[in-house]
Structure 1
């Protein structure tokens, strides 16, 4: 199914884009309010579990201890595609909001600047991670506590022990949706990451932005993440994720202290305050009778992307969370990565807007020309800008390696009856397949179409996620 989809995307990218846009526009037009409410429901559900008596329940046997240290565990959370996406949008999204702000704000004003930071923090805050947490909790509980196969389908099994359970093929349908969402999402992320690496090399070293360069980058990436996957989860992904988080913190703190520190700190405080103060309003920000183009393009797009991406992220988080309590899991997953993302937006997004608005540097022109240039244009105006750009290119490359490595691991689990350590052969097959998908779509300019098409999976999958919540609650009550 994925192969046919890729052939269609490579051969007729414009047609795929047309159909994908039409399908996504339909889902956002009629279900945007649903997406907002269901995301809010996931936050409430996870917090309820964490702070109720269920929070003490271990994701595993009572004697199980966490496999990874807390810092290493947080690093592993970033391995599942989140890190590279954050680096990609950390500058470009706030700048784009500043130029085309949400309804009610005038572009390129002080109010638009505040809104740009606030909404960027909102989009990378706890909503996304509540979506991932629902999947992760359900799979970890089912796999490590109840000793069932850690597939998406087994998490809804407690609700299917009735007439619904007689429907033939429901398990296969759910698991096929999960594999489709994961494979297409990873291929798209890999392709977009390659574009940013190429953009950074061009902006910093004037390396040509060509298909040949992108092919070289993909081949190097494939060799690196397959080599990492050979070493296994305990060595490859764990060590890389630890290195990624350390380098990301170094880049963040270095830019904070060598840049306009006072401005960046005030941006962090002001943005976080606005995020907390307007949390409820932004969470249900839908205009029943008016224009929702901005909402659909940004907020709904992010929530749908998180839901489509959640089988991969949730499965990987579940795999590395054995031995933690539900309370530890929820507080760690829902609050630590968002806090890092908020700080990232304040330093790099805030820095970009400072250089644009206060210093008069042409940041917005760089973003308008190519969104992959935003980060590197901003870093060039920091002290030691060349050094920071080189570190950023290396960080993106390493994030891509860990994301692809994590994806081959998860896809291997999904397609081998959720074996906790899938065979090397199946991981290599998925590794080559993902690289080939990204390469074909880059050459055909079909990445955006594939990304939009994969978002359509979010609608049926959101229903499955709601069922997972009630199934998990039912089993916790019984226990």
Structure 2
């Protein structure tokens, strides 16, 4: 195939073998993946917590250090995209479907089903529910994305290296990254990306199906979800064909318009004053408790430990599996920005928006739950629509939500095909449409097949397994980045 690298063929074979195992022996697949996931949760939970916390610390160090003045590109380069479009694109790629899927259901779960540490249904559980949502979707994740993306953008635009994960490790391993070792690194990145994105596609199909079932009585199940995946796959392939400056850019801007519209509707039609007060108090408490949250591993409390495995450790693994895709995409759209401008934008803008989102949707859902309407009686993918039904113009809000999930679905998959194309064509910044379309079809098929053999549990188990080896690569990327940044500053110093 034209311009396809060894990474493309090797990863494709690995993905086919993994999916074939799931299809031929679904029970064995689910049992094996569940056993490995349980081992990782038990043995590496502390490691995930430490890694995410340290990446946040390194991010702050770089922001306030002289490294922040270095530009991602030549000193004369300037950003290709406006700040608004840039933030919209990185936000759409980095969160997308999950934000709508979990916006109401996660805080509600922490309040009414399984609180982390507070007593069920109490005011303390209400406040804790929002803080935990901020923690799972906020500053830690974006710092991790920021560090990986910074490494990619620095070596790509400042040093002229190919847009590959392996290229960022050359300060440590030198030309070995151009051989089998580099191929192994890039294969791990692509493998993690495919299964990380497949999880979101599964969530998206389930929620679109749930919304249509709740509103219009359309049957909810595997057949309907496959039709949804098929339709959306065609749409994002059309978008991928149109290129970065058209399809992804326009859809990302559309995402932000729809998301802000839905957010405003919830703020205005929901318990407005309660939402504003809860945001003010819990967002402050989130930063006040940030250190404690970051290192909480519950070593002596089995119940809390199980909660952490189900929520925090799963999230950290999910975000790590998304890191190659999201970070490479963020790097690709960030040429010309200074390191300080880049990290502040990547880390803080999405964090604030996400906190407002969860405060609005979570508070509205919990307030409805407290008013004796049991939202927990609905499946997770229908909770948002059931909550909207308790508000004025709820049907219209549900339709907007379905449109938003659909556009997030398209942009996430579109961005992923673009990045997978880059990673499997030796870092080409303009991968061929043929490669992008093949990856688009492949990731949709992975989501569809895994949903058929084990539901979202099988997909979740797979990404936790895929994320572990890539997390070690992230550590090496950070070491290589600091090494290269130090060398860059020495070059910039005037000689006496």
TM-score exceeds 0.5: yes
Give, in angstroms, the shift of residue 138 of structure 1: 0.5
SS of 2:373 mapped into structure 1: coil
- Equivalenced residue count is 473
- Could you tell which deviates more after superposition, 250-259 or 437-446? 437-446
Deviations 1:368-419 (A, max 9, x none): xx11011111111121100000000000001000111111101110100110
Does residue 371 in structure 1 map to residue 375 in structure 2? no
Counterpart CA distance in 2 for 1:145 and 1:395 is 36
User: How far did 1:457 drift?
Assistant: 2.3
Structure 1, unmatched stretches of 5+, are: none
For 2:377 and 2:456, the matched residues in 1 are separated by 24
Aligned to 1:215: 226
**Aligned counterpart for 2:477 among listed residues 464, 468, 478:** 468
Aligned partner of 1:173 in structure 2 is 184
Is 2:49–2:295's contact at 8 Å kept on the other side of the alignment?
A: yes
How far off is 1:166 after superposition?
9.1
Q: Which 5+ residue runs of structure 2 have no aligned equivalent?
A: 1-13, 489-496
Aligned to 2:152: 139
Residue 161 of structure 1 and its aligned partner are, at CA, apart by 3.3
Give the Cα–Cα distance (whole angstroms) in 1 for the partners of residues 397 and 116 of structure 2. Answer: 35
1:114 matched residue in structure 2: 127
Q: Which residue of 1 aligns with 2:492?
A: none
Identify which of 392, 406, 413 aligns with 2:422.
413
Q: What is the match of residue 390 of structure 2?
A: 381
Q: What displacement does 1:144 show?
A: 0.4
Distance in 1, matches of 2:487 and 2:131, equals: 42
Q: What do the CA deviations read for 1:112-156 (whole angstroms, capped 9, x no partner)?
A: 111111111111111111111111000000100000011111111
Paired residue for 2:272? 261
Contact 1:91 1:349 in 2 (8 A): yes
SS at match of 1:322: coil
**Structure 2 Cα separation of the partners of residues 339 and 21 of structure 1:** 35
The aligned counterpart of 2:11 is: none
Check the 8 A contact 2:33/2:458 in 1, yes or no.
yes
Q: Distance in 2 between matches of 1:240 and 1:230?
A: 13
Alignment partner, residue 11 of structure 1: 24
Partner of 1:444 in structure 2?
Answer: 453
Length-normalised TM-score, structure 2: 0.93
Q: Deviations over 1:319-363 (max 9, x none)?
A: 111111111111111111111111111111110001111x22221
Alignment of 1:63-82 (within 5 A): 63-82=76-95
1:455 maps to 2:464:
yes
Deviation readout 1:170-191 (Å, 9 max, x if unpaired): 1111100001001111122112
In structure 2, how many angstroms separate the alpha carbons of the residues matched to 1:210 and 1:104? Answer: 34
2:253 matches 1:242: yes
Deviation at 1:27, TM superposition (A): 1.5
Secondary structure of the 1:114 match is helix
Bigger mean CA deviation after superposition, 177-186 or 457-466: 457-466
- For 1:397, the equivalent position in structure 2 comes to 406
**What is the alpha-carbon distance in structure 1 between the residues aligned to residue 147 and residue 465 of structure 2?**
19
Deviation sequence 1:439-467 (CA, Å, 0-9, x none): 22233334421221221222222221111
State the distance in 2 between where 1:90 and 1:146 align.
Answer: 40
Q: Does 1:283 align with 2:297?
A: no
Distance 1:225 1:93 in 2: 28
Q: Is the 8 A contact 1:58 1:325 kept in 2?
A: yes
**Distance in 1, Cα, partners of 2:352 & 2:474:** 25
RMSD of Structure 2 on Structure 1 (CA): 1.5
Match of 1:360 in 2: 372
Q: Distance in 2 between matches of 1:166 and 1:457?
A: 21
Taking a change above 3 Å as real, the CA distance of residues 103 and 94 of structure 1, as seen in their structure-2 partners, is closer
The equivalent of 1:187 in structure 2 is 198
1:229 is matched with 240
Q: Distance in 2 between matches of 1:453 and 1:459?
A: 11
1:350 equivalenced with 2:350 (yes/no): no
Give the Cα separation in 1 of the matches to 2:135 and 2:103. 13
Partners of 1:93 and 1:13 in 2: CA distance: 28
The answer as to 2:283 corresponding to 1:272 is yes
3-state SS of 2:96 partner:
helix
Taking the aligned partners of 1:418 and 1:167, their CA distance within structure 2 comes to 12
- The 2-side partners of 1:166 and 1:83 are apart by 33
Do the aligned residues in 2 keep the contact of 1:211 with 1:443 (CA within 8 Å)? yes
Partner in structure 1 of residue 436 of structure 2: 427
8 Å CA contact 1:121–1:271 kept in 2: the answer is: no
Which whole-Å CA distance do the structure 1 matches of 2:43 and 2:451 have between them? Answer: 31
Give the Cα separation in 2 of the matches to 1:19 and 1:413: 32
Asked if structure 1 preserves the Cα contact closer than 8 Å seen for 2:167 and 2:177, the reply is no
